[in-house]
Amino acid sequence: MSAPDLNLLVTLDVLLSEGNVTRAAKRLHLSPSAMSRALARLRETTGDPLLVRAGRGLVPTPRALELGARVSQLVQDAQSVLRPAEAPDLQRVVRTFTVRTSEGFAENFGPDLIAQTRMEAPGVRLRFVQKLDKDSAQLREGAVDLETGVVASAMGPEVRAQSLFRDRFVGVVRAGHALSQGKITSAQYAAGQHIGITRQGLEMGPIDEAMRALGLERAIAATVGGFSTAVALARASDLIASVPERHTGNLRAGMHTFALPFATPGFTVSLLWHPRFQADAAHRWLREMVVKTCALRP
């Protein structure tokens, strides 16, 4: 048995609504003859005349009356499914979004982002998970809704990205540290004891490469896995931490921050997501909230 032509549901709905072939044809932008042929197909498919002549008009059969409400609802449901998603009622949205990001981003931008989302959508929860590598597998698998980071070749080519802000490395020491007085030279910076930051076991980073070009090398006294730990160690010791400026704004409060005395490349931090969420209205709203939060915080 061949599958029924579901387009006939729309035709039947209009015919039953109008009770007139000419008016139904006009509503569907068909000729009266084309509508008559469609009615013939409906009669053959349902095994019922559906509309029969009574004087100059047509009246529905009992079978047509039985089908009327069901057909109308089916057509409305189909139109709803195929219609673009409407903006969600944020006061009613109940959903948990998982954001994979560095601890620095979560600590610096997280409080404002949480406050803003709670204000607009009290049922939304944000779950921050630490980003230990640049592999985009969790985005592809749907385990993560959003990521932040620097776009890299390790990410899948299908991953969508939107720039959030530019960042650069700065040095930070405790208040009263010897480097907190006056301008710092490359030699003074290199002579200090430093905190190395690595999440992937890499020995050399952009700061070390820039120093090597000057014939300098820094002494690493301790290595940690994240920006906040580096800042905390620097706050409580004479060690020097070199961290992204915008990622660590909150963490460096009360400390002395200085521009590095040599050029290092800046970098763009982006918001990343998988195309499966591109048209998701609530997901789109959250992306806009992240962009807005990053733009408001210096």
- Domain with residue 163: its CATH number is 3.40.190.10
Give the pair of three-digit tokens for residue 271: 């918001």
CA 260 to chain centroid, in Å, comes to: 33
pLDDT of residue 70: 86
Give yes or no: residues 162 and 280 share one domain: yes
- Confirm whether 87 is domain-assigned: no
Let me know whether 100 and 149 are in one domain: yes
Predicted pLDDT of residue 298: 66
Structure tokens given for 71 = 């057909």
The answer to whether residues 98 and 238 touch, using CB atoms and an 8 Å cutoff, is no
Instruction: Look at residue 195 and tell me if it is in a domain.
Output: yes
Domain total of the chain: 3
Single-letter amino acid code for the residue at 99 = V
Distance, in Å, from the CA atom of 129 to the CA atom of 37, rounded to the nearest integer, reads 61
What pLDDT tens digit does each residue of the chain (298 aa) get? 466 778 888 898 888 888 888 888 899 889 989 989 988 998 988 899 988 988 777 888 899 888 888 888 888 878 766 766 667 788 999 999 999 998 888 988 999 999 999 999 999 999 999 887 777 788 888 889 999 988 876 666 788 999 999 999 999 999 999 999 888 999 999 999 999 988 665 556 889 999 999 999 999 999 998 888 999 999 999 999 999 999 898 889 999 999 999 999 899 999 999 988 888 889 999 999 999 999 987 6
pTM: 0.69
Task: Report the pLDDT value the prediction gives residue 202, as an integer from 0 to 100.
Answer: 53
Q: Please report whether residue 221 resides in a domain.
A: yes
Closest CA to 146 of 19, 270, 22, 24: 270
Same domain for 143 and 200: no
DSSP 71-114: HHHHHHHHHHHHSPPPPP-TTT--EEEEEEE-HHHHHHHHHHHH
Are residues 100 and 42 both part of a single domain?
no
Same domain, 154 and 208: no
| Both structure tokens of 152 | 């890299």
* Shared domain check, 227 and 177: yes
pLDDT, position 218: 93
The pLDDT of residue 297 is 74
Residue 53: the pLDDT is: 86
Domain that holds residue 180: 169-265
